[in-house]
């Protein structure tokens, strides 16, 4: 349960830190760190509005998407503590439970009957399909290196050392996780959450018809997903056997650096042109293959 509490605490501040970083980088006063939480509180007090063309899928998709992220949180370990749900092959469960949440958000957008939301759903599906190989290659590489297919056992057996191959692999793994988080959460350079032009929007155009309570659930799911990927970063970087207090301090430090990185990237990097995104995402898979080859070399399986 410790990791779930830590992820929830992180999600309360993560989006606000990104906003503060972007405000400082652009020389503006900007909103406070808790502004996204204040906006969610406002949305919770509002009712949801449903169009005549939308059906039951549109109404249940926000809750299912959020539930999928919460289920994914339960298979992540923290230090010496095993995950709430731990079994061999749980990293596959993790991948597909997140995919289930994405699937319902996509068909929920299609259920509105809006051509704009259908366009956004099409792009979201395409980019998710392209990033999936990178995610599975990375997790399968961890599994091959440690000999386990459970997150708890994988991260208990993996730690960064002075070995050049492990150090290089760890750097590549951190890079890949950050880029996967960017794509999965539709952030710059793949998408811009602040754009208002429907023709260039991806995720934001999918939730144009959502309002009130349902929109709050969508935002909460997005914030939690960022913290989930930050937890993966933590497990890669921090060894499992250190002091618990130090682990908690390092957990929040890594999550802060993760948010800082996202904020700086969005402050100084422009969004890709839409036709450049597939090449950018496939490059992440290519980097994952490099990490895979490194592990083959380390385990003497490359002959």
The residues, any chain, with a CB within 8 Å of residue 47's CB and separated by 6 or more, are 211, 212, 213
pLDDT digits (tens, 9 = 90+) for 285-295: 999 999 998 88
- C-alpha triplet 158, 256, 291: angle, nearest 5°: 35
3-state secondary structure 45-75: CCCCCCCCCCCHHHHHHHHHHHHHHHHHHCC
Q: Quick one: pLDDT at residue 199?
A: 76
Q: What is the pTM of this model?
A: 0.94
pLDDT digits (tens, 9 = 90+) for 46-95: 988 998 888 999 999 999 999 999 999 999 999 888 899 999 999 999 99
Residue 146, SS3 per DSSP: helix
Q: Please tell me the distance from the alpha carbon of residue 166 to that of residue 237, in angstroms, as a whole number.
A: 11
Q: Quick one: pLDDT at residue 240?
A: 82
Residue 77 Cα distances to 227, 245, 247, angstroms: 13, 16, 12
pLDDT digits (tens, 9 = 90+) for 166-177: 888 899 999 999
pLDDT digits (tens, 9 = 90+) for 125-146: 999 999 999 999 999 899 988 8
What is the C-alpha R_g of the chain?
A: 19
């Amino acid at each position: 349960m410790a990791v779930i509490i830590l992820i929830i605490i992180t999600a309360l501040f993560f989006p606000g830190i990104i906003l503060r970083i972007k405000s400082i980088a652009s020389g503006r006063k900007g909103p406070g760190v808790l502004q996204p939480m204040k906006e969610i509180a406002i949305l919770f007090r509002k009712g949801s509005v449903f169009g005549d063309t939308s059906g039951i899928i549109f109404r249940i998709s926000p809750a299912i998407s959020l539930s999928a992220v919460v289920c994914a949180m339960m298979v992540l370990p923290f230090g010496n503590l095993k995950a709430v749900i731990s079994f061999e092959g749980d990293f596959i469960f993790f991948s597909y439970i997140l995919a289930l949440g994405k699937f319902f958000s996509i068909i929920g957008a299609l259920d509105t009957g809006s051509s704009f939301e259908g366009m956004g759903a099409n792009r979201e599906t395409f980019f998710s399909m392209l990033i999936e190989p990178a995610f599975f290659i990375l997790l399968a590489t961890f599994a091959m290196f440690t000999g386990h297919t459970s997150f708890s056992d994988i991260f208990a057996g993996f730690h960064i050392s002075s070995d050049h191959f492990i150090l290089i692999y760890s750097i590549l793994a951190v890079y890949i996780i950050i880029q996967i988080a960017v794509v999965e959460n539709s952030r710059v350079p793949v998408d811009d959450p602040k754009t208002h032009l429907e023709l260039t929007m991806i995720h934001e155009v999918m939730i144009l018809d959502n309002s009130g309570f349902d929109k709050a659930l969508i935002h909460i799911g997005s914030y939690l997903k960022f913290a989930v990927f930050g937890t993966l970063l933590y497990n890669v970087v921090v060894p499992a056997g250190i002091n618990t207090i130090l682990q908690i301090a390092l957990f929040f430090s890594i999550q802060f650096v993760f948010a800082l990185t996202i904020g700086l990237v969005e402050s100084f990097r422009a969004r890709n042109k839409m036709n450049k995104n597939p090449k950018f995402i496939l490059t992440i898979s290519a980097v994952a293959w490099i990490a895979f080859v490194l592990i083959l070399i380390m385990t003497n399986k490359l002959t």
